[in-house]
Amino acid sequence: MQKLKILNTREKRNILDSLKQIYDFNDKLDGVLFLSSKQKLFLLTGGFDVIEKGEERQLRIDKAGLYIGKVMPDGIRLSVEGSQLIGPSAKKNILEISDEQVEPWVKGEDLELNESQQGGYYLVKHKKDFLGCTRIVRGTAQNLISKNRRIKTLNI
């Protein structure tokens, strides 16, 4: 069983600073941020402020809240839900995909990009929907959607 660490104000500020640097996200994340031993970020809103200071060490929580992403050495890789939470307020590193690119993306395929995007993490957006996060390496948008979340057939 992994143990989740409750991030203090300074640690939460570091996460928000990373989100600002990568995605130009300036809003707040209301709630408590947890970090697992595998560097996975979880957000829990409401009702968790009843824990006394120091008691969090005694908690053995496997999962709590919404999985929003993973802290990587080169940035924060957001989950689909994390991209939907942060995307509407993000102002940069947003990769807009066309109608023709949506089906291959949700099926788990990487996308070859015509334009020369800088490398790094980007939010994937189609019209008004945020579909997850990608890492662009040498003109290819790597699909980071886990295999169990990929769609076999898309009915539009």
What range does the domain containing 64 cover?
5-149
Residue range 107-156, pLDDT digits in tens = 999 999 877 678 899 999 999 999 999 999 988 999 998 888 888 777 76
Q: Is residue 92 part of a domain?
A: yes
Q: Is residue 156 part of a domain?
A: no
How many domains is the chain built from? 1
Q: Is residue 154 part of a domain?
A: no
Closest CA to 85 of 49, 119, 117, 45: 45
Which residues have CB under 8 Å from 56's CB, separation 6+? 5, 6
Q: Is residue 155 part of a domain?
A: no
Rounded CA separation 78/40 (Å): 10
What is the pTM assigned to this prediction?
A: 0.84
- Count of Cβ atoms closer than 10 Å to residue 146 Cβ: 11
Q: Is residue 20 part of a domain?
A: yes
What pLDDT, on the 0 to 100 scale, is given for residue 2? 62
Q: Is residue 49 part of a domain?
A: yes
β-bridge mates for residue 95, sequence order:
124
Which residues have CB under 8 Å from 79's CB, separation 6+? 67, 68, 69, 70, 132, 133
Residue 10 is part of a domain; what is its CATH number?
3.10.450.720
Which residues have CB under 8 Å from 43's CB, separation 6+? 29, 31, 32, 33, 34, 65, 66, 68, 85
Residue range 53-94, pLDDT digits in tens = 555 555 555 567 899 999 999 999 999 999 999 999 999 999
Q: Is residue 46 part of a domain?
A: yes
Q: Is residue 132 part of a domain?
A: yes
